[in-house]
Chains A and B, each alone.
Chain A
Amino acid sequence: MSVNGAGTGACAVCLRRTWLIARLAGAIELAWAARRPLPALLALTDEELIAALGGERRERLRAEWEDFSAAAARQRCDDRAVTAICRCDRRYPPALRELPDPPAVLHVFGDPGRFVALVEQDCVAVVGARRGTPYGLEQARGLGRGLSAAGLTVVSGMALGIDSAAHLGALDSAGTTVAVLAGGAERAYPASKRQLHARIAAAGAVVSELPPGAAVRRWTFPARNRIIAALGRLTVVVEAGERSGSLITATLSLDLGRDVAAMPGLVTSPASAGANGLIVDGARLVRGAADVLELLYGAEAGQLTATAPTPAALPGDLSALLERVGGGCDTVAALTADGTGLDSVLAGLAQLELRRLVWRAEGGRYVCRAR
């Protein structure tokens, strides 16, 4: 029955498993809401799942399960340009096998060959709050940029905020990035990230455990997080509140014996409370891509691949302005408070912005580009 290695050929057993999970998504939601742990649920066999969650429809479900047509499932994947790679496939990422409940099938939107190559490289998961501050967003983007430039793959969840910023950063440089979605891989979730979804699919890969057309459920987010944690050799948390879902990813990562790192924020910033807490609990502190590389490959790698832009080439007044912005004078009002002319500050800021050394954030604040 198995058709390993051939195009979209995931085996029938795995396809059926995935179909069942999607079919029972509502029931899993209820069970999960009733505090049944997700790994335990997802580790059940097909028969056990039907028995445990099928409820009154158990018999009908069983009949459907027995009549399951793998050809139709493959057709559904082909129709949406999604490639199914199952556990029995040798292309299946070995890192996922370390999970207690590895997904039966990974649905890949984008070139499957490229996806396989991307997960063969070292992957780093970058996760964080959906509501990132300008600082956090820029740091996540810088991280994505630096890691991708160094030949690593940036794995994240394409959520709003930090996740998307990390993907964007990777797209800024080599484009080596994998987005793991909580719904079907062929459809952007959140929908506002449609463009980002298309760019990631074109340069990297978008994957999901669930078959095409599957809608997101509340439990599919933590389920998605386990895949992100498992794919990454290291998970970096950039900005997470005290009860952020990113902390779940960090815990999952620790459970798998992987390293966890966090980027520090202001101790007064609620947006960084979770990330700072991780550092207190022993997570590695990283200040940027160079620190991550050092963590993974030793001190020399960090120095070799430092990706800081070269403000040395800036005229003196611009680099002085840049330093002031980095030092906390981040608004026009603050920069002109010492009597510096408004015209020269405005012109200088625009120069820096055009050189991509600063960004403008909400509230008219300027944010230095991450080193």
Chain B
Amino acid sequence: MAAVLSRVATFAIDGIDPRPVWVEVDVRPGLPTFRVVGMAGKAVRESRDRVRAAILNSGFEFPARRITANLAPASLPKVGPGFDAGLAVGLLAASGQCPAEGLERWAVFGELSLGGELRPCRGVLSAAEGARRSGLRGLIVPRERAREAALVEGIEVAAVASLRDVAEVLEGGTVPELPPAEKALPDSPDTEIDLADVRGHVLPLRALEIAAAGGHNLLMEGPPGSGKTMLARRLPSLLPSLSLDEALEVTRIHSAAGVQRHPGLARTRPFRAPHHTISASGLVGGGQVPMPGEASLAHHGVLFLDELSEFSRPSLEALRQPLEDGHATIVRGQRALLFPTRFMLVAATNPCPCGYAGSERPCSCSDAELARHRRRLSGPLLDRLDLLMTVSRPSAEQLRAPAHSSSAVVRERVLAARERQARRLRDSAASCNGQLDARLVRSHVRADEAAQRALGRAYDAGALSARGHDRVLRVACTIADLDGRDGVGVDDVMQSLALRLRVADSWEVAA
């Protein structure tokens, strides 16, 4: 019997982008073997055993011949179990157990269980985009992830449960319907937390509102238990909901990283809070086979770094490019991968290593510890934060104070301010004040004379760096936007300064 060859279209997820991969299966007489070649990672090589069991358990025959499967192009490293379905289908087609014609129209993507079921795997949305770009009719995906693939318009999605279903679709049978859309469950408990629960914290709440309105990065400094994390978690509830494009981007990244909470479109802004022991590549993306880092997972959402001073210096340094450029570049071999990273950075830190400097409790740190803490917090990252503020434990009296406005009320104000910014910035690359670079600040922020004089005075006093000068102006602009004005006045600048200057800066430097 002569050799039979089949070709199945599938996709490798390279970072978050789909790369077309052809699974070629060659079955010829000879000693029974099953080899997979073409830069296959460990999970792919292991897929041989899954494929064999899945085929047999689905009632097909596993040909006792010499089987060679190739994943082309051979230059692209392939990892993950997403090739299982493609390999099994290729084998079935090459051994005549399923028609090869269907394979020209359908791409196959999914992991197999030993029993022959298709299991959900990461990157389905990217694979669906790949299928559209390759001009295929549709994509066969595991049922649990079909809603995600269906977000891509212009392709047909076959939601299958098992290898048998795949064969049926390829034979030209009916295409299984998409599973019913889930009820609009809240993505996370985050949507239930609201500003209305907060008592006291007058200053931090104002800073949060300004941060949300202008997309500004912010740092909170305060003793343990003062409510820094509680406040940060409420930031997403103040932000405008995701636009469709943003939601697609978020879903794609989360799908590629395998961290999405449910199939289908992301509905809330991500809130990521990595632990301070995270490595630089964990934070901005990387690894032998590059995966998006926390900065990308927080794309269009909030990246919360608690205990900022405990993060390693390389990690914080690595965060600089993503903060400035809105993306992280990971270079591996000959390829550079781009991960989008437009997040709002919220950092929190204790005022000192023991946490109690400046609070009611005495601080027990040594001078060396204090100096080290201060040194770790100074530097380039801090200069990239727009708002710096202190969070202190509310007094008993403040805890009895009336509730703050609810998140919905604040969000109305935020939305109005964002609209004003969008109008003003429509001819530029930025969409909110937090994204203005020095050039855009000059061209798009109008400050009246008194405001400029005040800012000049602060700058001359040495209380601001050149970068800090622009940051104060950006925040002042957002304060004016919140107030429904386009021009920056002296009071806006003053408030902005009050939300930025710090002891060490003003007390030591000023002469």
Contacts and interface: CB of A to CB of B under 8 A. Distances in A.
A and B found bound together: yes
Interface of A: 130-131, 134, 137, 160, 168, 171-172, 190, 192, 270, 331-333, 336-337, 342-344, 346-351, 353-354, 356, 359-365
B351 A363 contact: yes
B497 A350 contact: yes
Nearest to A331: B392
A364 B202 CA distance: 12
**Which 3 residue pairs are nearest across A and B when measured between Cβ atoms?**
A363-B358, A362-B358, A364-B390
A362 B499 contact: no
Interface residues of B, number: 45
Contact of A362 (B351, B463, B501, B511): B351
A343 B499 CA distance: 11
Interface in B351-374: 351-352, 357-359, 362-363, 367, 371
B461 A354 contact: yes
A368 to B, nearest CB: 13
Contacts of A171: 511
A97 B41 CA distance: 82
A333 B394 contact: yes
B487 to A, nearest CB: 16
Interface string B196-214: 0000111100100000000
Contacts of B508: 168
A221 to B, nearest CB: 14
Contacts of A353: 497-498, 501, 506
21 contacts: A137-B507, A332-B202, A333-B203, A333-B392, A342-B203, A343-B495, A344-B491, A346-B203, A347-B491, A349-B498, A350-B496, A350-B497, A356-B461, A359-B507, A361-B507, A362-B352, A362-B357, A364-B358, A364-B390, A364-B391, A365-B358
A359 B501 CA distance: 10
B351 A347 contact: no
B357 A363 contact: yes
Contacts of B352: 362
Contact of B491 (A160, A343, A356): A343
B202 A350 contact: no
A192 B200 CA distance: 37
Contacts of B367: 130-131, 160, 190
A193 to B, nearest CB: 10
A365 B221 CA distance: 12
A348 B490 CA distance: 11
Given A332-B202, A346-B203, A354-B458, 6 more contacts: A130-B367, A137-B507, A347-B491, A354-B494, A356-B510, A361-B507
A190 B392 CA distance: 31
A245 B499 CA distance: 38
A172 B502 CA distance: 19
B350 to A, nearest CB: 11
